[in-house]
């Protein structure tokens, strides 16, 4: 059975994987051991999979409107998170801030990892297509229709700024992928264009890709250099870097 989602823990010695039957596994690399931690209905698509990247390490698994939290060590259920009225589409975590984020079509909920209490509930003015956290967790980016990105401050749940891609060819485009670094915000989706915003300059930059983008990751090093990895095309291993 093919796996549909994979996520690594904070130190890289374990990873979680979900298959198309709805089973969720935790694999321990050093001991070559795995355990099944959840069996979701096959008809219920997995909305997100992520480790907390802080001690004690836990795994978030979203299905329909519910997020379940499992212990990475004992594989037991820790708690169940509720609050979304529509299916959860993404789960993001910033271990340094002890912050987790879950996104549905109409809302983003920020959770405190220490006790799994709600920090904030942020409603969207239009349908949410994607979401991302900055590396230090100070910003939450919400990708909305019309090729717009709303940047919110997680500490106060206040809108910091809104970024737009003012390009006629993108007005009807469906951007669904979002990544935030210390300096750049990058969006992509059903098309062959990457939209890049420099947080210190207003206009967006458009980078043409040779094929539709399937996955997006923005990595930042301490030296201040950022690199965007956009994966797509016929071969899953092909990527574009800049």
The set of long-range contacts for 45-49, using a CB threshold of 8 Å and a minimum separation of 24, is 45/87, 46/4, 46/5, 46/18, 46/22, 47/87, 47/88, 47/89, 47/90, 47/91, 48/5, 48/88, 48/89, 48/90, 48/91, 48/92, 48/102, 49/5, 49/6, 49/7, 49/16, 49/18, 49/24, 49/91
pLDDT under 50: residue ranges of the chain:
171, 222-225, 233-242
C-alpha closest to that of 241 among 209, 214, 212, 206:
209
Say if CB 117 and CB 138 are below 8 A apart: no
C-alpha closest to that of 180 among 141, 223, 128, 146:
141
Q: Is 220 exposed, middle or buried (0-12, 13-18, 19+ CB in 10 A)?
A: middle
CA atoms within 13 Å, Cβ hemisphere of 103? 24
Q: Given this model, what pLDDT does residue 45 score?
A: 65
Q: Given this model, what pLDDT does residue 228 score?
A: 53
Q: Given this model, what pLDDT does residue 104 score?
A: 92
* b/e burial code for range 81-101 (CB count within 10 A of at least 16 → b): beebeeebbbbbbbbebbbbb
Q: Given this model, what pLDDT does residue 239 score?
A: 39
Q: Given this model, what pLDDT does residue 232 score?
A: 52
The owner of tokens 């950022």 is: 226
Q: Given this model, what pLDDT does residue 237 score?
A: 38
């Amino acid at each position: 059975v093919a796996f549909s989602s994979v996520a690594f823990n904070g130190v890289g010695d374990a990873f979680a994987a979900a298959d198309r039957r709805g089973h969720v596994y935790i694999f321990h690399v050093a001991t070559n051991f795995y355990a099944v931690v959840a069996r979701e209905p096959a008809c219920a698509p997995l909305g997100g999979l992520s480790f907390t990247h802080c001690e004690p390490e836990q795994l978030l698994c979203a299905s329909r409107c519910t997020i379940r939290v499992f212990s990475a060590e004992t594989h037991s259920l820790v708690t169940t998170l509720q609050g979304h009225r529509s299916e959860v589409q993404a789960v993001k975590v910033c271990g340094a801030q002890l912050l987790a984020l879950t996104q549905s079509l109409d809302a983003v909920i920020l959770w405190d990892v220490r006790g799994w209490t709600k920090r904030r509930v942020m409603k969207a003015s239009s349908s949410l297509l994607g979401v991302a956290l900055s590396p230090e967790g100070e910003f939450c980016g919400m990708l909305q229709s019309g090729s717009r990105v709303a940047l919110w401050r997680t500490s106060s749940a206040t809108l910091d700024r809104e970024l737009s891609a003012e390009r006629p060819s993108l007005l009807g485009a469906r951007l669904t992928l979002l990544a935030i670094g210390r300096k750049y915000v990058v969006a992509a989706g059903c098309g062959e264009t990457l939209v890049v915003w420099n947080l210190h300059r207003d206009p967006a930059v458009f980078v043409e890709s040779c094929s539709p983008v399937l996955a997006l990751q923005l990595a930042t090093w301490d030296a201040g250099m950022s690199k965007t990895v956009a994966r797509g095309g016929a071969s899953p291993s092909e990527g574009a870097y800049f």
